Structure 1
Amino acid sequence: MKLILPLLAASSAGCAWLYRSHQQRLQHAEYLRGLSQPQQYRGLPIVIVVDVGSSSIRASCFALVSEAQWALIGGSLQQQHVSSIDVYGEADGAKIAASVEVILDQTMEFLRVTDLTQKIVGVGFSTFAMNVLGINANGSVVTPVYTYAGRRKATAEWAKEIQDRLSARGELDEAHNRTGTVIHPAYAPATFLRLHKEEPELVERVTKWQSISGYLIGKWTTAGQQDGCLPISFSEASWMGLLDFRRSQWDSKLLELIGMDSNKMPPVADSSVPFSGLNAKFARRWPELEIVPFFLGVSDGAAANIGSKCLDASRIAVTIGTSAALRVVLSEDAMKNAKVPKGLWCYRIGRDHVLLGGALSDGGSVFKFFRESLRLSDEGEPCSYVCNCVEIVVKLFTICSLVQI
């Protein structure tokens, strides 16, 4: 209950901010329309960002217009609506790769037509979390992509088995404190244990486990030709629920508990580490990207904070959709000796930073909640007033939370 109330408050505060900023966005529209002319970005550094979501795959281009300001290049968005995740909560890695490659084809065509290919300085990824797939020694996918949306009944049963084993040892809370995550079907431990118990032949075919972004970069570049495996980023690894986020290492106790061979886990690296050098096949397809660096994926939850400029403890990010989440970026030192609060999670998202937060389902119904609870009319002003009040509450909650940390 302690978590639910502030998250509801935070959800309302986010809605209030959106409502109040509407006029500012309208006033800013003329400026944005000016930025949307692609030709003005010729000669500026440009990055391509690919977002692999559960319902769509898209890419956009950004230009560096000042020392620390990137502007979205109007018209650069390329998008393909796909149902990546099936009824089992799993995805087809080969189909995802094919869709991403088509999106990059379209993106490169846009950049060629607008004469913006001269200074492409990087290609980055954001991905839904969690995601993990198995590859063989040749770098080919041999398993489905296992995701946060896993819906197999057996996975939930194996999650309960892990909980029971840890509880019997008195280690359940400590596992949460080490990894920053709970034992749940949405994370990898339960999936891996199910695979070892029910599909051992499939596990045997796996040389390395990879993230989607690592698999794609390994498929396209010479970096993946040595052993077919690239590192996994801190955020993608942490969202698997198997990373000791303080030590930035795979959690050996959990790996042992689920029977996972640590040699099959990829090395962990910061998403700022570049991988360049397209292999011959893809150099022919995207010659302008032949020596451009590619970067490992950033998990969507971390990207939400980055995109909203909530990059330190002075700002909390509230995202509202089917679910609501409240997240704050902290220095790693802030959690060095502090325990992860019960009911919250904590992910490593970079060399020096972690992401602390909590989530609540059905966040999008916050207005309905206040209208029905307080018997408000459908007119905007009363709801706006309530949200203004709630924003004060969430600010107080934020201050108290950070003081406790």
Structure 2
Amino acid sequence: MNQTDEARRMHTQHELHTEQTARTEPVVIGVDLGTTSTKAVAFRTDGTLEASSSVGYPLDEPHPGHAVQDPLVILDAVLAAVREVVDEVGADRVAGLAFSSAMHSLIGLSPTGEPLTEVVTWADTRSRAQAERIRASAGGLALHRRTGTPVHPMSPLPKLVWFHEQEPKLCERVGFWVGIKEFVLLRMCGALVVDHSIASATGLMNMETLTWDGEALTVAGILPEQLPELVATTTVLPGLTDEAAAATGLPQAMPVVVGAADGPLANLGVGAVRPGVAACSIGTSGAMRVVVDRPAVDPLGGVFCYALTATRWVVGGAINNGGLVLGWAGDALAPDLDEPPEEELLALAARALPGSGGLLMLPYLLSERAPHWSSLPRGAYVGLTRAHRREHLVRAALEGVCLQLALVLRSMRAAGLDVTQIRATGGVMRSPLWRQMLADTFGMDIDFALGQEGSGFGAALLGMEALGLIESIDVVADMVEIEQTVRPDPAAAAVYASLLPVFTELYDALVPAFMSLRRLTPSLPVDLDESEPPGA
């Protein structure tokens, strides 16, 4: 055997040894309970994805403003997704489970833990009147500043007020009020606990004391005994129930890390954990978040503040109207385009110059969250002239989304945050036009990360830290690979910088019109489909 053949043999043996070693390395399964599906993802400690599974479920809208789900269907989806991953990687390699969940859900349980209500999701807006009443009261902004959660129909606080006003008999039967992750953990582990991250998104927990806020509970009409025990996000539960172990194929002694909320964990998913590094995502909706070492809310209450770990909080804001605005533009402005129309729409928008010839769109098709936190606003085009064409209307719609995120960024800075770097992800971010427009609107370089499993990856990392498999979640900053850095075009950035103050003023200027339209709408003929798709 010559030296070349011997070198090849040694290289092959090394590769086989490396592959065999990888197959025996422990994994942590991140379980992400999303709005329309649960995803289970198994990661090694170096960030390598070993296996994934996703099981979907419907978001039901039985009445206008209602957006609910069956908690037992979601539980079955969790068990099925975990089982599929366990079957692929092998139960003996699983070091633990760690959970992520969509925020703001609410379920009423009987004293024995049986669901008395459906899952009332963040997208449910039935408590709009209650939220507006609380927000307008003298204590509305104070509640936001103490709890970190804006007073908005998405939040469990106004939802609880709605239940007490509209379903008092039901409330008398409720022993506990929980969210979907708490229900799943109760069934899988037999523990009624809620992590500080999910709790900080209820509007019921005091950020400074990490206890249930007495005034918030009084407004909600509940007692602290009706809520789960507050625990740290890194809390490890001792194991699974007999039923959960049998359903997942895991041993009963499997450690389960309680985990956190999906928004804060999404920052982990893109490696945005260091000071000044913000995560920006645009899917159906959108969000901006940055990790800080202590709670912070801006004086006007434009941002939320949710816990991640004992020493990390996430400050930012979510917007209702992201990529769905492009979908609306395709349906309303360009129904003649081929299916799918996204690429043609973007090409159409690219024909217009930045600023759309002085045309602005307020993209409030589904009202809005940050930084206004109001169900009142509606979408509007302002500045329309005879010279504007379809490409200007489409581009102005996309620019409106970016300008709204710029308002969120401004509110984050008003909260005292020094945002020096942005990492962006999301379905629409595959488009070069969206990427450039976002960089131009922010006037900052934006890094685009290679695909990760988002909140599921973040949950797995948090689980690794809790189980002592990694030193700190800080390692993620070096795990995530940057695919592209987009720099702002100076001329376009100057255009958007000049338009942002006008865009900002338009909201306040149109509030009287929004209020008049709300009063008038019930008396007007309606042939619109106002169903609300789930957000990202």
| TM-score (norm: length of structure 1) | 0.74
Contact 1:213 1:297 in 2 (8 A): no
Please list, as runs of the form range in 1=range in 2, the aligned pairs for 1:153-172 lying within 5 A after superposition.
155-164=127-136, 167=137, 170-172=138-140
Rounded to whole Å, the distance in 1 between the matches of 2:132 and 2:350 is: 36
Q: Which has the larger radius of gyration?
A: 2
Aligned-pair CA distance for 1:391: 5.5
Rounded to whole Å, the distance in 2 between the matches of 1:201 and 1:359 is: 34
Aligned-pair CA distance for 1:369: 7.0
Rounded to whole Å, the distance in 2 between the matches of 1:109 and 1:78 is: 11
Shifted more, 273-282 versus 363-372: the winner is: 363-372
Rounded to whole Å, the distance in 1 between the matches of 2:434 and 2:177 is: 48
1:345 to 297, 304, 324: 304
The amino acid that maps onto 2:68 is E
Rounded to whole Å, the distance in 2 between the matches of 1:282 and 1:385 is: 47
Show the counterpart of 1:129.
103
Contact 1:126 1:303 in 2 (8 A): yes
Deviations 1:282-325 (A, max 9, x none): 33344533211112242121121110111132311111112221
The amino acid that maps onto 2:220 is I
Q: Secondary structure at the match of 2:111?
A: coil
Contact 1:214 1:297 in 2 (8 A): no
Contact 1:180 1:345 in 2 (8 A): yes
Show the counterpart of 1:202.
170
Please list, as runs of the form range in 1=range in 2, the aligned pairs for 1:248-327 lying within 5 A after superposition.
248-327=210-289
Q: Secondary structure at the match of 2:184?
A: helix
Structural RMSD (CA): 3.1
2:36 to 39, 42, 55: 55
Show the counterpart of 2:186.
218
Please list, as runs of the form range in 1=range in 2, the aligned pairs for 1:87-126 lying within 5 A after superposition.
87=62, 88-111=66-89, 116-126=90-100
Q: Secondary structure at the match of 2:276?
A: coil
Rounded to whole Å, the distance in 1 between the matches of 2:432 and 2:125 is: 42
Deviations 1:254-280 (A, max 9, x none): 211231122101121112101122223
Rounded to whole Å, the distance in 2 between the matches of 1:38 and 1:82 is: 36
The amino acid that maps onto 2:281 is T
Rounded to whole Å, the distance in 2 between the matches of 1:120 and 1:78 is: 15
Q: Which runs of 5+ in 1 are unaligned?
A: 1-33, 225-229, 398-405
Rounded to whole Å, the distance in 1 between the matches of 2:436 and 2:244 is: 55
Q: Secondary structure at the match of 2:171?
A: helix
Shifted more, 48-57 versus 383-392: the winner is: 383-392
Show the counterpart of 1:238.
200
1:180 correspondence with 2:148: yes
Q: Secondary structure at the match of 1:235?
A: helix
Rounded to whole Å, the distance in 2 between the matches of 1:119 and 1:198 is: 49
Aligned-pair CA distance for 1:388: 5.2
Contact 1:131 1:236 in 2 (8 A): no
The amino acid that maps onto 2:149 is T
Rounded to whole Å, the distance in 2 between the matches of 1:371 and 1:244 is: 50
1:191 to 128, 153, 159: 159
Which of 1 and 2 has higher RCO (CA within 8 Å, sep 6+)?
1
Identity %: 25
How many residues are treated as equivalent by the alignment? 337
